A and B are shown apart, each in its own frame.
Chain A
Amino acid sequence: MANILAVDDSPSIRQLVAMTLKGGGHTVKLAENGIGALDIAKHYAADLVITDVHMPNMDGITLTSELRGIPEYRYKPILILTTESSPEFKARGKAAGATGWIVKPFDPSALLSLLDKVL
Chain B
Amino acid sequence: MSDDMDMSEIHDIFYEESYEGLDVMESGLLGLGIGQPDLEIVNNIFRAAHSIKGGAATFGFLPISKFTHGVETLLDQVRAQERSVSEDVIEVLLESVDCIRRMLDMFKAGNVPDEASSIELKQRIDTILALPSGGAMKAASNGEVSEPAELKQWTIQFSPSVDILKTGNEPLRIFNELRALGELKIVSDISKLPDIRIMEADSCYTQWILILDTDAERKRIEEVFDWVSDQADIMIECKESDIANSQAQTTPIAAALELPSSEAESAVAVGASSSNGKNSSSTKESGSIRVSIDKIDALLNLVGELVITQSMLARHADGAVAGSEAQGLKDGLLVLERHTRELQESAMQIRMLPIGASFSRFKRLVRDLSQKTGKKVELKLSGENTELDKTVLEKMSDPLVHLVRNSLDHGIEKPEDRLTAGKPETGTLHLSAYHEGGNIVIQVDDDGAGLNRQRILAKAIEKGIVSPSEQLSDDQINNLIFQAGFSTAEAVSDLSGRGVGMDVVRRNINDLGGRIEVSSREGKGSRFKIRLPLTLAILDGQLVKLGSDVYIFSLLSIVETVLVSPGEVRKVVGNGNVYRLRDDYIPVVRLRDAFKLRCKDSIKTYLERDGELLVVVESDGQRIGLFVDELLDQQQVVIKSLEENYKPVAGLAGATILGDGNVAMIIDVPSLIKTLDIAAITSKIEDFAA
Contact = CB atoms under 8 A, between A and B. Distances in A.
A45 B47 contact: no
Interface string A5-17: 0000111110110
Contact of A31 (B44, B65, B286): B286
A82 B311 CA distance: 56
B196 interface: no
Given A13-B58, A19-B10, A94-B230, A83 B53 contact: yes
Contacts of A40: 284
Contacts of B3: 22
B332 interface: no
Nearest to B140: A85
Interface string B249-279: 0000000000000000000000111011011
A97 B290 CA distance: 34
Interface in A31-84: 31-32, 36, 39-40, 44-45, 47, 54-56, 68, 74-78, 82-84
Given A10-B54, A15-B1, A105-B57, A117 B285 contact: no
B20 to A, nearest CB: 10
B287 to A, nearest CB: 6
A93 to B, nearest CB: 9
Contacts of A2: 275
B548 interface: no
Given A3-B278, A30-B284, A101-B227, A19 B167 contact: no
5 contacts: A12-B55, A32-B286, A36-B287, A99-B169, A104-B54
A12 B281 CA distance: 20
A84 B46 CA distance: 12
Contacts of A29: 282-284
B177 interface: yes
B102 interface: no
B140 A12 contact: no
A117 B173 contact: yes
Interface of B: 1, 3, 5, 9-11, 13-14, 16-17, 44, 46-47, 50-51, 53-55, 57-59, 65, 140, 165-170, 173, 176-177, 202, 227, 230, 271-273, 275-276, 278-287, 290
A96 B281 CA distance: 29
Contact of A75 (B55, B166, B176): B166
Top 10 A-B pairs, shortest CB-CB distance? A12-B14, A99-B168, A83-B54, A105-B57, A36-B286, A105-B58, A77-B168, A12-B13, A97-B167, A11-B13
Contact of B283 (A30, A77, A86, A94): A30
Contacts of B276: 3, 45, 47
B281 A27 contact: yes
B17 A12 contact: yes
B166 A74 contact: yes
Given A32-B286, A94-B230, A10 B166 contact: no
Nearest to B229: A94
B152 to A, nearest CB: 24
A44 B283 CA distance: 12
A39 B286 CA distance: 10
B278 A94 contact: no
B616 to A, nearest CB: 51
Nearest to A55: B47
A27 B165 CA distance: 24
Contacts of A105: 54, 57-58, 65
Contact of A68 (B46, B167, B278): B167
Contacts of B283: 18, 28-30
B614 to A, nearest CB: 56
Given A3-B276, A40-B284, A16 B58 contact: yes
A12 B11 contact: yes
A36 B286 CA distance: 7
A96 to B, nearest CB: 9
Nearest to B12: A12
Contacts of B46: 54
A72 B121 CA distance: 50
A75 B273 contact: yes
A85 B76 CA distance: 13
A100 interface: yes
A15 B273 contact: no
Contacts of B9: 15
A119 B274 CA distance: 10
Given A13-B58, A54-B46, 8 more contacts: A10-B51, A13-B55, A19-B5, A54-B51, A75-B166, A77-B168, A87-B140, A97-B166
B168 A75 contact: yes
Contacts of A97: 166-168
A77 B273 contact: yes
Given A75-B202, A99-B168, A117 B140 contact: no
B287 A32 contact: yes
Contacts of B50: 54, 83-84
A47 B168 contact: no
B10 A47 contact: no
Contacts of A68: 166-167
Contact of B202 (A74, A83, A85, A100): A74
B58 A76 contact: no
A98 B177 CA distance: 18
Contacts of B11: 12
A100 B170 CA distance: 11
A101 B280 CA distance: 27
User: Max chain A CB contacts within 10 Å: which of B55, B168, B275?
Assistant: B168
Contact of B5 (A15, A31, A85): A15
